[in-house]
Amino acid sequence: MLTGLPFCKMLGTEAVERVHDTGCRILETVGVRIADSKYRELAARAGARVDDQRERVFFDRGLLGSLLEKAPSRFTLHSRDGRNDLRMGEGCVYFGSGGRVFRILDMATGGYRQTLLRDVAHTAILVHNLPNIHFYIISCQAHDVGPEHYHLNDFYHAFNQTTKHVMGGCDNLEGMRQAWELACTVAGGADALRERPFFSIITNPISPLTVDPVTLGILRFCAERGIPATCAPAPISGATAPATLAGVLSQMHAEAMAGVALAQIFAPGAKVLYGSVATAMDLRTMEFCMGSVETAIMNAAAVQMAKRCDLPIYASGGLTEAKRPDIQSGVEKCFSNLMVALAGGDYIHLAAGMLDSGNSISYEQYVIDNEILGMIYRILAGIRSDEGALGFEAIRKVGPGGNYVMEDHTVEYMMTEFFYPELSVRCNFDIWEERGRPTMLSRARERVEALLKEDEEGLLDPDLIADIRRKFPGIQSI
């Protein structure tokens, strides 16, 4: 969604340069730890300084700058049907889900349970049908699937239930290979997938300043095959990063730049999103708090750091510590999603469905978040000020003391000028009582039931499904 507003800035120009300079100094003098010698050797061949004894790789500014310049500043994360292509680096803001959680709030029972394969399919159905959620990140762990086929089943059921862009993480290279081979089959071949990659991969360095061999193997696999990826640091202030927000940003900036640089060593021109999952702790209690306002501030500021390097960003928003869809979840989600969107974040993940510091999901929360995101998109659209929107002719026609209810100008603009919520209660008290005192949560539950009932069969062609099941016998039904 292209924003009509100028982007807001958490950091002034000088502060951006100070954080950038500190991130570069970190990579020059502290370096990143890479335990696998073959990746250190690749970095050395590219011009990096390597200390094999300490397993460190150092990037001087010249090399770092040249590697970052190889990374594309604009690219598309494709949808399968072309209706929800995501244009990275073009001033658009997109929100999506987040995931790989282990618990789900079951509103039918009021309690939590472990997530299952059907929850992967159901959350994909919800995202597919909710217009303000533009991409699907595989949202939960399927506890009823063996680890050897986690990712094969994750991506199959995601592809079968949404045509929107799908993103996910893989625990190992074999899982990555399974997901890629499945996507090649869906696309009609490896060349077709490279031309229009409709899925992408999340990798994460380990804060502080460590990139493990499995992550590097997956990042290399993606880079060499044209699969977009992010190498997204997740530093925690006061735990795996300095307690100060500027300190977290400086370390994270170094980690994010290192991820992009390594991808370019593997395959110059690889499509990589600068990553930010900067979070905070309540240092009084040592409780992890992804929904803190500081998390929102840091991710908004991270957008500026990505733009400083002319890179699109995978940023974090929509987080909350709340255990249920309630006032706390609404407050925390609105602040973080709005702040990162107003900063101009390209690809804002975790924005829908999440509860409990990113540890749980709720079907109803997806629907509620879709409505919150609709309001945010209305804010981003700003106020039109063309001649028609200014309404001078309508004002002259109505004149003093008149009204505009039946005017053509009102009819012309009534459906485009306003955001009309589906869940919010907008009726007087008597009608509200007559309707059984609905709430946003009760309406969300009704919407969930309707969407899941409508779209159970899936979207892939039956002949393609039969072919996939022959090739990949590890795929399970839900």
Residue 274 belongs to a domain with what CATH number? Answer: 3.20.20.480
Which residue has 């502080």 as its token pair?
A: 208
Q: How far apart are CA 428 and CA 3, in angstroms?
A: 34
The pLDDT of residue 457: 75
Task: Provide the residue type at 56 as one letter.
Answer: R
Mean pLDDT of 28-48: 98
Dihedral over alpha carbons 194, 142, 230, 203 (to 10 degrees): -110
* 4: confidence class by pLDDT, cuts 50, 70, 90: low
Q: Domain range spanning residue 223? A: 68-381
User: Which alpha helices (H) appear in 279-326, and where do they start and end?
Assistant: 293-308
Under 8 Å between Cβ of 211 and 32? yes
Specify the pTM.
0.96
pLDDT tens for residues 130-156?
A: 999 999 999 999 999 999 999 999 999
N- to C-terminal Cα separation, the chain: 33
Residue 291 inside a domain? The answer is yes
pLDDT tens for residues 293-320?
A: 999 999 999 999 999 999 999 999 999 9
The pLDDT of residue 5: 67
The sign of the CA dihedral 308, 314, 317, 319 is negative
Residues in the chain: 478
Question: How many CB atoms lie under 10 A from the CB of residue 175?
Answer: 21
The pLDDT of residue 307: 97
Between 433 and 1, whose confidence is greater? 433
Q: Which residues contact 303 (CB under 8 A, 6 or more apart)?
A: 7, 276, 313, 315, 340, 343, 344, 345
Nearest C-alpha neighbor of 278 from the set 262, 257, 311, 256 = 256
pLDDT tens for residues 83-121?
A: 999 999 999 999 999 989 999 999 889 899 999 999 999
CB-based burial label for 423 (10 Å; 0-12, 13-18, 19+)? buried
Mean pLDDT of 388-405: 96
The pLDDT of residue 7: 76
Mind spelling out the 3-state secondary structure of 422-458?
CCCCCCCHHHHHHCCCCCHHHHHHHHHHHHHHHCCCC
Q: How far apart are CA 335 and CA 296, in angstroms?
A: 7
183 pLDDT above the threshold of 90: yes
The pLDDT of residue 147: 92
The count of domains in the chain is 1
**Average pLDDT for the chain:** 96
Structure tokens at 302: 């991270």
- Helix, strand and coil content of the chain, in percent to the nearest 5, comes to 45, 15, 40
Residue 377 inside a domain? The answer is yes
Q: How far apart are CA 270 and CA 254, in angstroms?
A: 19
The pLDDT of residue 455: 61
Residue 449 inside a domain? The answer is no
State how far Cα 107 lies from the chain centre: 25
Nearest C-alpha neighbor of 203 from the set 148, 256, 265 = 256
The pLDDT of residue 328: 97
The pLDDT of residue 101: 96
Mean pLDDT of 246-256: 98
CA 248 vs CA 21, 99, 278, 316, 335: distances in Å: 14, 23, 7, 15, 20
pLDDT tens for residues 57-74?
A: 999 999 999 999 999 999
The helix (H) or strand (E) run that includes residue 95 is strand 94-97
